[in-house]
Structure 1
Amino acid sequence: MRGQRTVALWSVFGVVAAVSSVLVLRRPTWDRLSDLHIYYGAISHLHDGQPLYEFVAENGGPFTYPPFAALVLWPIGLLPEVVVQAGWLVATCAAVAAIAVATGRALAHRNPPTGRALASRNPLTGASTAEQRRQLLVPAAACVLMISAPVQSNLRFGQVSIFIVLLALVDGMGLTPARCRGVLVGVAAAIKLTPLLFVVYFLAARRYRDAGRAAAAFVGCAALGAAVLPADSWTFWTGTVVNTSRIGNLASLGNQSLHGMLLRIGVTPDDLPPLWAALVAVICGVALLRARQLDRARQPAHAAVLVGCATVAASPVSWTHHQIWPVLAAMLLIGAAGVVQRVAGAALLGAMVFSLGALLNQLSVTTGMQFLFENARTVGTLTVCLAGFGGIAVATVGVHRPAPGRRTALRVATTAMVTLAFFAVQPLPAGADPTFKAYTLADAGNPRYFFVCRSQAECAEFGAGAAISFGVTAEKTKVRVNGVVDGRVTRLEYQSAPGGAARRIPLLPLYPGQRVFSFRSANLSHGRLVAYGPDGAPLATYTDELDINRSEATQ
């Protein structure tokens, strides 16, 4: 029966992987594997003898990785892009399976059987109980990974993040030969800098040789990049490496790092750097100390995943495709012995599979609750870093003597209710609106952005003589407001939270006598749109009309 379940789970994984890949390939050309398209374009640009960091794709995306990453990706420029796309999807699914093998191994040995159970073997296969557990847990972990938002994001965008996690996880767990441990971390860091935190972890865990090999591999790969691409290396290491604005809007909801959450809270530019640096130091320090304890307790997978979660929390930029580490943490928590850890793991896994901000937006009766749902992945990752697979969670129920089930459940429920109550009463400022963007003339021709009309006749018909007309459109993680104003409106402002600062909405003069506007927000339930006339007095104010249940409002 266990063997049949294993085959069934692997079959489910194969089906989900195949369906996900087909759905990616069926997306419009301009939205299909967009990050891989940037890699491909940058390498082709490089093949033509052009500077690597001057390349900009059609969607405005530049190449943001170190020069060594371009050397690793060099072969893709020799193949047709459609072949690269198919191969990349297959490789991504294979990397998910490999990560699941490592994670399943850790889950199988988390509470290993003892006595007769340890010695027992399947009479048909000869496999021990531990081996049978691993055979079942590996495909289960693969299925969970495949349906998670970070893996789906890696598939959709054609991202390199999944391979970085695989290299760091295998090396951090010590699954590589002893004389090579640390090399994969160094190579991963040379492609993407965040795994450098594993070098600090090796030092904290007194794995000095591993740290030395990792540092040497990183320096060697960077030197190779400098030897082959000297001008591009100089450009990257002397400026591009710290220019995070090239990566996108860091305050957007997709950036679930501590830095992104502080931006969404509305921390001022002057206060942000010292506050962020101090919090990162605390979070990484606690996580590394706990990782050292876990390594000494012979739980290398937990230690490696904890350090990985710290990279997600501490990096200035942690898009969805970077957040594979919290998914692994959730699975390890679910596989733990304590009730609190399992409940925490289930909650974290739910946040990593579903977009709670979109799923629960109707329950966001206050800005604080809205903020909690939209930043659930950040909050969960920070909790893992500070609790450390048992630090705070185990202290809650007692380290040496587990509390009775009813008492434990009461504590879990109380903690959850206190957390929700705290966020429910928070009067967060308008700066906490995570996905707000007001579109400009440069965006008007982009097919990715929706406008209510795209010709003079359409805009005249939609406006129908009103001072302002607009429509509200819901998407998966955001809501868009798109409309038309006439000459009576001179200024348009939007407030995303009561008492917050108003945001100016650009009025785009696309057609004579008619101007269009478009902006987006994560949630309009607390928003207010105000149109002003030439004398500065309000012409119209909209609150209830922004409710997504009403698709159109006209004044």
Structure 2
Amino acid sequence: MRGPRTPRGRVLLVLVLVAAVTVFTATVPLLRDFFDLRVYYGTVHMWVRHGGRIYDYQVPGTAYGFTYPPFAALAMLPLAPLDRHSAIAASLLANLAALAAILRILAGPDWRRHGWYRWSLCLCLLALFEPLRDTFSFGQVNLVLLALVLGDSWLLATGRARWAGAGIGLAAAVKLTPALFIGLLLLAGRRRAAALATAVAAAATALAAWADPAASRFYWTEALWDTSRVGRLGYVSNQSLQGVLARLGETDRPLWATAVLLTLCVWAWRTRGAVKAGDWTAAFALTGAAACLVSPITWVHHLVWLLPSFAVLLRAGHPRIAGALYAVLCTSVVWLWFDDSSGIGGFLGSNTYTWITLGLLLGLPTGQPPVLRLPLARSTSVRSTSVTAPAPSPESPAATAGPGQPQSSAVCDVAAATGAGGDVCRDLGVSPSSEPTGSTRPAASKPQSSSSRASSYTVNPPPA
């Protein structure tokens, strides 16, 4: 079924979708009341204005405080002179800017050809994506970190590798999970970029240690190893391998370490293949999925790291698979097993997002021809495609773009000569509350789902 073709019809459809999305997000998911932003804001204010210690702050009425490395608190110092409402506005603007950068990078240099209509539909769909709407509602920082990391992907893919690695280093200094992308750079043989990322992360960490030696000492020797500060491993929002094992009652570290090691082996194998094919978008998407799996705690809002995977699926010509997986991640389905995740149904259902992440790691297509890749290489010449043009002859002259023929048409001519024209030309558009994550369940009177609580990261489960 095709959408409206007239400008008036398209404007009307977009307005209807915006209204529907607004009603949905305002009434169905539980709002998070910018809880994580309240943690950042309160920590910075107590540290700067009242001389308190970073890791002593707790949101009033809760047991939750700052859990990131000390450099993260240093990076959030701009919150200190702001009032609460201004801090919320700054958080929303920062996340919107980060989202715009992410979409621009994933769409590639031809992003303008999608037009306002397609981008409007895309934004409506993104507003339904549970990890994304929770990131905004919590006031989280993962979108900003993803933008920093994908910035390095863009630098590598476009041949501007001089500063590649700086974004990864900053992201790793704020949260530890993005450090896996340094491993990606090493696998790819990009030693200079890996060294730069390591140096930036080390310099940022050293700067934080100079600013507050006691906080750095406490974090690296105590807080880092105490997962109870972050939340219960078995909480249904934890969609990592550790969360799966915890919900099964398996808390042995050797078992989790084995699962992590196997996952990293699969990641290294698949990522090397993507890098060998020059497919940086897929390599970064695979690394984001692996990071979500191996992290001890991956709250649902952390799954914004899967956004590059959906771009890869669309680019590879799998819109139905991408749409089905994306739709599941919009449903908050894991919360059906909020109270009880026992049995085979609980094992499968409560870990739905983990299975999706694992499936993406195992099956994400890689090595697409450069003409289909996002972002594209600098040159869109015939030579940049993976098809080889036949030698010109009097009967079959070389396919080159003339003054009135666009370059993409010339690419299609060459691709058609090798039997790959259909797919290439088609893609070129040339004709031949305070829960740790969102829940769609209505607010209940019990403490676990009541908006009166500040958070429930470490709420004890209800008795069986």
Q: Same fold (TM over 0.5)?
A: yes
1:304 to 284, 292, 310: 284
Matched, 1:260 2:218: no
CA gap 1:45/1:23 in 2 versus in 1, 3 angstroms: farther
Distance 1:217 1:376 in 2: 36
Q: Cα offset for 1:344?
A: 3.5
The alignment partner of 2:219 has SS state of helix
Matched, 1:379 2:382: no
Q: Cα offset for 1:37?
A: 0.6
Matched, 1:63 2:66: yes
Mapping 1:497-536, distance limit 5 Å: none
**Larger relative contact order (CA 8 Å, sep ≥ 6):** 2
Structure 1 partner of 2:175: 192
Q: Cα offset for 1:388?
A: 3.6
2:275 to 295, 298, 304: 295
Structure 1 partner of 2:136: 155
Structure 1 partner of 2:295: 315
Higher Cα radius of gyration: 1
Q: Cα offset for 1:41?
A: 0.5
Distance 1:334 1:36 in 2: 33
Q: Cα offset for 1:334?
A: 3.7
1:231 to 206, 210, 214: 214
CA contact (8 A) 2:95 2:136 kept: yes
CA contact (8 A) 2:148 2:168 kept: yes
CA contact (8 A) 2:18 2:124 kept: no
Q: Deviations over 1:183-226 (max 9, x none)?
A: 01000000001011000110001111110110000001001111
Structure 2 partner of 1:472: none
CA gap 1:134/1:223 in 2 versus in 1, 3 angstroms: farther
Structure 2 partner of 1:52: 54
1:279 to 256, 259, 280: 259
Distance 1:372 1:164 in 2: 30
The one-letter code of the counterpart of 1:354 is: T
The one-letter code of the counterpart of 2:228 is: S
Matched, 1:39 2:49: no
Distance 1:149 1:355 in 2: 7
CA gap 1:258/1:360 in 2 versus in 1, 3 angstroms: closer
Mapping 1:268-417, distance limit 5 Å: 269=251, 272-337=252-317, 341-358=318-335, 367-389=343-365
CA gap 1:478/1:378 in 2 versus in 1, 3 angstroms: farther
Q: Deviations over 1:504-528 (max 9, x none)?
A: xxxxxxxxxxxxxx9866xxxxxx9
State TM-score, norm by structure 1.
0.60
Matched, 1:99 2:102: yes
Q: Cα offset for 1:93?
A: 2.1
CA gap 1:63/1:139 in 2 versus in 1, 3 angstroms: same
CA gap 1:89/1:3 in 2 versus in 1, 3 angstroms: farther
Unaligned runs of 5+ in 2: 368-418, 420-432, 448-458
The alignment partner of 1:294 has SS state of helix
The one-letter code of the counterpart of 2:325 is: L
Structure 1 partner of 2:191: 208
Q: Cα offset for 1:384?
A: 1.3
Distance 1:238 1:275 in 2: 24
Mapping 1:52-201, distance limit 5 Å: 52-58=54-60, 59-105=62-108, 132-133=113-114, 140-174=121-155, 177-201=160-184
Distance 1:263 1:286 in 2: 22
Distance 1:169 1:372 in 2: 32
Aligned length: 378
The one-letter code of the counterpart of 1:144 is: L
CA contact (8 A) 2:286 2:360 kept: yes
The alignment partner of 1:78 has SS state of coil
CA gap 1:165/1:519 in 2 versus in 1, 3 angstroms: closer
Unaligned runs of 5+ in 1: 109-129, 392-400, 402-446, 450-474, 484-517, 522-527, 530-555
CA gap 1:21/1:34 in 2 versus in 1, 3 angstroms: farther
Distance 1:10 1:168 in 2: 34
The alignment partner of 2:167 has SS state of helix
Distance 1:14 1:183 in 2: 39
Distance 1:197 1:249 in 2: 23
CA contact (8 A) 1:204 1:289 kept: no
Q: Deviations over 1:230-254 (max 9, x none)?
A: 1111111111111111001121110
Q: Cα offset for 1:50?
A: 1.1
Of Structure 1 and Structure 2, the greater strand share is in: 1
The one-letter code of the counterpart of 2:194 is: A
CA contact (8 A) 2:36 2:139 kept: yes
CA gap 1:13/1:311 in 2 versus in 1, 3 angstroms: farther
My pick for the range that moved more, 375-384 or 277-286, is 277-286
Distance 1:477 1:294 in 2: 40
Paired-residue identity, %:
31
The one-letter code of the counterpart of 2:246 is: L
Structure 2 partner of 1:534: none
Q: Cα offset for 1:16?
A: 7.6
CA contact (8 A) 1:162 1:324 kept: yes
CA gap 1:298/1:61 in 2 versus in 1, 3 angstroms: same
CA gap 1:146/1:476 in 2 versus in 1, 3 angstroms: closer
CA contact (8 A) 1:183 1:214 kept: yes
CA contact (8 A) 1:168 1:185 kept: yes
The one-letter code of the counterpart of 1:375 is: N
Distance 1:343 1:37 in 2: 39
Q: Cα offset for 1:294?
A: 1.5
Q: Cα offset for 1:325?
A: 2.0
CA contact (8 A) 1:92 1:163 kept: yes
CA contact (8 A) 1:20 1:152 kept: no
Q: Deviations over 1:109-128 (max 9, x none)?
A: xxxxxxxxxxxxxxxxxxxx
The alignment partner of 1:174 has SS state of helix
The alignment partner of 1:368 has SS state of helix
The one-letter code of the counterpart of 2:104 is: V
Q: Cα offset for 1:477?
A: 5.0
Q: Cα offset for 1:23?
A: 4.8
